[in-house]
Amino acid sequence: MTAAIIDGKLIAEEVRAQVKMAVEERIAAGKPRPGLATVLVGDNPASHVYVRSKRKACAEVGIESFGFELPADATQEQVEKVVRECNEDPRIHGILVQLPLPAGLDEEAVLNTISLHKDVDGFHPVNIGRLAQKGREPAFVPCTPAGCIYLLKKTLPSLRGVNAVVLGRSNIVGMPVALLLVREDATVTICHSRTRDLQVVVRQADVLIAAVGKAEMVRGDWVKPGAVVIDVGINRIEDPNHPKGSRLVGDVAFDEVKEVASYITPVPGGVGPMTIAMLLQNTLRAAELADKM
């Protein structure tokens, strides 16, 4: 059996098209254009690439971008001041602080400064707290975990009762995606570096979400035949046969696992495109929430 590929790029394009149509309808109805502010501190090349791609995606769907760049030696007060100004600007509906911040800055304090109703990254402690509570609804859900669940719901008729294993317990992906799976009535196991008999636990998964940040850690014999595998990892490894001398791989050994799983996301082209699509969707939602305030 060879797994069917879950085409995150194609599904993300569908989401983006829906957002673009909704933005056009807002403008035609005389409502404000959604606006997203990106706050970038320092000169991390990868962060600059990510922010450029987000601003480009906004332009393609009609969302207005507001870019704020601060030097690497910016103080905590300077960063928080920019965020507070964005909170007060009615043109800005969503605020994204690009992580990681330079050493010496308190990320949690910066994220706490973002207005709950503009937290389109979904990392505000109140939004995460609501996500963890039964009967409470967060204003926004973190984008990458939301993208994972969206892909699963496009692939499976239901997640109710499935045995889901999340490999990784980060605040950005592992923990939020586990909470989202619980909300879908899955039975969830969270694995990490201290998990005993890790391979045995992973092999029990009907749905496996790999978000551990270790290149090709999950091998073919780790995966239950017929499992659905969502690979969140993005790792660059050396490859002398590649034109660039290196290539991107996930946390899953794709060539091995695709012969065991029923569905699998590729890297690149799987979860990655969904992250930005969910950010656009959250920004639109922020504008809709602002309409009611």
- The whole-angstrom separation of Cα 80 and Cα 103 is 15
Contact 175, 188 (CB under 8 A): no
Q: Which amino acid is at 210?
A: A
54 classed as catalytic: yes
- The whole-angstrom separation of Cα 30 and Cα 22 is 13
Q: Which residue of the set 119, 121, 231, 251 is catalytic?
A: 121
For residue 200, what are the contacts with CB-CB under 8 A and spacing of at least 6?
Answer: none
- The whole-angstrom separation of Cα 61 and Cα 211 is 29
> What order of strands is seen across the sheet that includes strand 35-41?
64-70, 35-41, 94-97
43 classed as catalytic: no
For 171, other C-beta atoms within 10 Å of its C-beta total 13
For 90, other C-beta atoms within 10 Å of its C-beta total 8
The token duo for 18 is 């829906």
Q: Which residue of the set 18, 20, 31, 54 is catalytic?
A: 54
DSSP track, 57-101:
HHHHHT-EEEEEEE-TT--HHHHHHHHHHHHH-TT--EEEEPSSP
- The whole-angstrom separation of Cα 57 and Cα 63 is 8
Burial of 215 (0-12, 13-18, 19+ CB in 10 A): middle
121 classed as catalytic: yes
Annotated binding residues for NADP(+), as ranges? 168-170, 234
Which residues have a catalytic role annotated?
54, 98, 121
